[in-house]
C-alpha cells in the first residue's frame, strides 16, 4: 500500500521573507546580504555557548537567550542600528526579536529557519578560531546503515532545548513500545549531528522520517494532536 508523503506544518515557510514594523524575517541568502550591506556588527547568536562553539555566523556575538547574557549583551548595542538575530531553527530567535522590539530596537532582521536553513543553503560557518566548523556526529553512510532492514524505522530529529520535541517524545516512545518490536526508533540530536542535519535538509524540529526497507515512506514536521498522530503512524505501519 502506497502512502502519500504528509507534512504536519506548525510554522510559516522557512524560506519566505516577511516584514512587520521594525522586524524583518529573512531567508539565509538575504540575511547574509543584509549583514554585508548594513556593516553594523550587531549580529546576535542567541543559542547556547556549546552550540555557538560548534559553528556560528562570522562576526556573531554570543547572546544566549536562556541566560542573563542576552540582557547584558543587548544593553551594549545601538538601538538605532540594525540588529541581526538567529538561533538553530528560528524559535528562539523569534522570541529574541520580540524582546528586542520591546526594548526599543528600531530595525531587527531575524534569520528564518536559523542555522539549519543557513547550512542547507551551503553558507559558511565559523568556529571561535574563525575556521570552518568541523564535521561532527553520525555520517550519512552510518545513517543509511541504521535505516536498513525490514522493520519500520522512525528517525526523530530533535534538540534538548526544543519544547515541542519534549512534548512529542513520550507520545512517540509509548507508541513504539506498543508495537512490540515491529518498529525501531532512532533519535538524532541535531546539535550533536550538524553535518547529518545539513545533508538531510532538516530546517525545523521536531521532524520525523519513516523508512520502510531503507526507503523514505513518510515524514512529519512539528507536533500535532496525539490521537491524530498515532492514527497516522498506525496507517504507515500497515
As a whole number of angstroms, the distance between CA 4 and CA 71 comes to 46
Determine which one of 85, 100, 162, 197 is catalytic. 162
Q: What phi and psi values does residue 63 have, to the nearest 5 degrees?
A: -145, 65
Determine which one of 65, 108, 155, 165 is catalytic. 165
Residue 2, preceding bond cis, omega within 30 degrees? no
In terms of Cα–Cα distance, which of 184, 158, 171, 181 is closest to 224? 171
Helices marked H in 26-162 — which ranges? 28-38, 49-54, 69-74, 91-103, 114-120, 140-147
Is there a catalytic annotation at residue 162?
yes
Q: What phi and psi values does residue 212 have, to the nearest 5 degrees?
A: -125, 125
Is there a catalytic annotation at residue 17?
no
In a 10 Å sphere around its CB, with 0-12 CB exposed, 13-18 middle and 19+ buried, how is residue 166 labelled? middle
- Residues serving a catalytic function are 162, 165
Amino acid at each position: 500500500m502506497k502512502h502519500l508523503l504528509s507534512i504536519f506544518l506548525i510554522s510559516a515557510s522557512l524560506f519566505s521573507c516577511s516584514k512587520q514594523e521594525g522586524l524583518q524575517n529573512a531567508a539565509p541568502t538575504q540575511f547574509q546580504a543584509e549583514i554585508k550591506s548594513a556593516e553594523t556588527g550587531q549580529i546576535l547568536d542567541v543559542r547556547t555557548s556549546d552550540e555557538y562553539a560548534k559553528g556560528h555566523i562570522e562576526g556573531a556575538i554570543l547572546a544566549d537567550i536562556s541566560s542573563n547574557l542576552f540582557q547584558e549583551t543587548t544593553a551594549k548595542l545601538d538601538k538605532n542600528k540594525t540588529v541581526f538575530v538567529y538561533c538553530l531553527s528560528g524559535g528562539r530567535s523569534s522570541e529574541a526579536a520580540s524582546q528586542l522590539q520591546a526594548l526599543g530596537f528600531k530595525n531587527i532582521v531575524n534569520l528564518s529557519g536559523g542555522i539549519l536553513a543557513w547550512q542547507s543553503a551551503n553558507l559558511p560557518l565559523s568556529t571561535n578560531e574563525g575556521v570552518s566548523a568541523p564535521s561532527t556526529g553520525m555520517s550519512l553512510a552510518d545513517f543509511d546503515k541504521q535505516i536498513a532492514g525490514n522493520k519500520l524505522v522512525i528517525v526523530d530529529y530533535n534538540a534538548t532545548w526544543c519544547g515541542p520535541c519534549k512534548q512529542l517524545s513520550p507520545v512517540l516512545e509509548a507508541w513504539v513500545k506498543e508495537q512490540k518490536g515491529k518498529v525501531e526508533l532512532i533519535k538524532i540530536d541535531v546539535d550533536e549531528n550538524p553535518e547529518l542535519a545539513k545533508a538531510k535538509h532538516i530546517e525545523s524540529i521536531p521532524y520525523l522520517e519513516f523508512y520502510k526497507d531503507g526507503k523514505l515512506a513518510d515524514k512529519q514536521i512539528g507536533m500535532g494532536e496525539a490521537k491524530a498522530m498515532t492514527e497516522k503512524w498506525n496507517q504507515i505501519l500497515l
